[in-house]
Amino acid sequence: MRFASYWHDTAPAFTGGTAGPAEGTYDVAVVGGGFTGLSAARTLAMSGAKVALLEAGTVGSGASGRNGGHLNNGVSHSFAAAKAHLGAERATALYRAFDASVDFVEATVAEEGIDCNFKRVGKLKLASKPAHFDAIARNFEIVNREVDPDTALLTRADLAGEVRSDAFHGAMLSRKSAVAHMGRLAVGLAEAAVRHGATVFENAPVTALRRDGGKRVLETPRGAVRAGEVLVATGAYTSGAFGWFRRRIVPVGSFILATRPLTDAEIAAAIPRERTFVTSMNIGNYFRLSPDRRLMFGGRARFSAVSNQQSDARSGAILQASLANIFPQLAHVPVDYCWGGLVDMTKDRFPRAGRNDDGLWYAMGYSGHGAQMSGYLGSLIAEAMLGKEDRNPVKGLGWPAVPGHLGQPWFLPMVGLYYKLLDRFQ
Residues 321-380 pLDDT 10s: 999 999 999 999 999 999 988 889 899 999 999 999 999 999 999 998 899 999 999 999
Q: Is 57 exposed, middle or buried (0-12, 13-18, 19+ CB in 10 A)?
A: middle
d(CA 374, CA 380): 10
In a domain, 1, yes or no: no
Tell me which residue of 340, 270, 256 sits closest to 298, measured CA to CA: 256
Confidence band for 246, pLDDT divided at 50, 70 and 90: very high
Cβ neighbours of 305 (radius 10 Å): 17
In a domain, 203, yes or no: yes
- Round the average pLDDT of the chain to a whole number and report it: 93
User: Which domain range does residue 40 map to?
Assistant: 6-425
pLDDT at residue 307 greater than cutoff 70: no
> Rg (Cα) of the chain, in Å, rounded?
21
Q: Long-range contacts of range 261-265, CB-CB < 8 Å, 24 or more positions apart?
A: 261/292, 261/293, 261/294, 262/289, 262/293, 262/294, 262/295, 262/330, 262/333
Mean pLDDT of the region 236-264: 92
In a domain, 45, yes or no: yes
In a domain, 20, yes or no: yes
pLDDT tens digits along 190-222: 999 999 999 999 999 999 999 998 999 999 999
Residue type, position 254, single letter: S
In a domain, 351, yes or no: yes
Instruction: Give Cβ neighbours of residue 306 (< 8 Å, ≥ 6 apart).
Output: 253
pLDDT above 70: percentage of residues in the chain: 93
How many CA atoms, within 13 angstroms, populate the side-chain half-sphere of residue 232? 29
In a domain, 260, yes or no: yes
Q: Is 149 exposed, middle or buried (0-12, 13-18, 19+ CB in 10 A)?
A: exposed
Confidence band for 275, pLDDT divided at 50, 70 and 90: very high
Q: How many domains does the chain have?
A: 1
CATH of the domain at 35: 3.50.50.60
pLDDT tens digits along 57-70: 999 999 999 999 99
Strands 208-212 and 250-259: unpaired
Task: Return the higher-pLDDT residue of 258 and 310.
Answer: 258
